[in-house]
């Protein structure tokens, strides 16, 4: 069973750390904690020798490195997907040219958005509270 799951050694180590964390949160003396930790590590090492007798330390380290690479790849894929979702949410349609852009400026009204090129053609006119387009001189 343990040989079927390459993450098994890592799970055991994680579990032992969780146990130690719980113990350290209790009111035990330092000697009791050290004694328990020593017994736990002895049991863990003995279990590891029996359950993984055909695994060398190098092989276990290679498995852990492979797991870390897989986790990193999964993290990068999730981060890429998250960035794409954020970009899609930030994409707005320009009120003037109708192009969709993630680089936009907000207009005065809540539903007004302008792409950067169109927003550069706008100025606030006097004391009016809305933006108007400057017409090029002909």
Count up the domains in the chain and report the number: 2
Q: Are 82 and 102 in the same domain?
A: no
Q: Are 70 and 123 in the same domain?
A: no
Q: What is the pLDDT of residue 70?
A: 92
Alpha helical stretches, state H, 1-138: 8-25, 30-51, 57-90, 116-120
pTM of the model: 0.36
**Average pLDDT value for the chain:** 74
Rounded percentage of the chain residues whose pLDDT exceeds 90: 6
Q: Are 111 and 81 in the same domain?
A: no
Q: Which of 135, 134, 89 is nearest to 113 (CA)?
A: 89
Q: How many C-beta neighbours within 10 Å does residue 110 have?
A: 7
Residues 6-33 have pLDDT tens digits of 555 677 777 777 777 777 777 777 787 7
Q: Are 11 and 69 in the same domain?
A: yes
Q: How many C-beta neighbours within 10 Å does residue 19 have?
A: 13
Residues 49-86 have pLDDT tens digits of 777 667 777 877 888 899 899 999 998 998 888 888 87
Q: What is the mean pLDDT of residues 83-105?
A: 79
């Amino acid at each position: 069973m343990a040989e079927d799951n390459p993450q098994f050694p890592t799970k055991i180590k994680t579990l032992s750390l969780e146990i130690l964390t719980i113990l350290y949160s209790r009111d035990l003396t330092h000697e009791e904690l050290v004694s328990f930790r020593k017994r736990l590590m002895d049991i863990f090492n003995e279990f590891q020798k029996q359950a993984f007798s055909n695994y060398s330390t190098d092989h276990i380290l290679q498995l852990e490195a492979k797991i870390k690479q897989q986790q990193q790849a999964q993290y990068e894929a999730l981060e890429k997907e998250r960035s794409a979702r954020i970009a899609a949410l930030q994409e707005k349609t320009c009120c003037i040219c109708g192009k969709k852009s993630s680089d936009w400026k907000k207009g005065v009204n809540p539903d007004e958005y302008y792409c950067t090129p169109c927003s550069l053609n706008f100025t606030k006119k006097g004391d009016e509270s809305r933006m108007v387009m400057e017409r090029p001189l002909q």
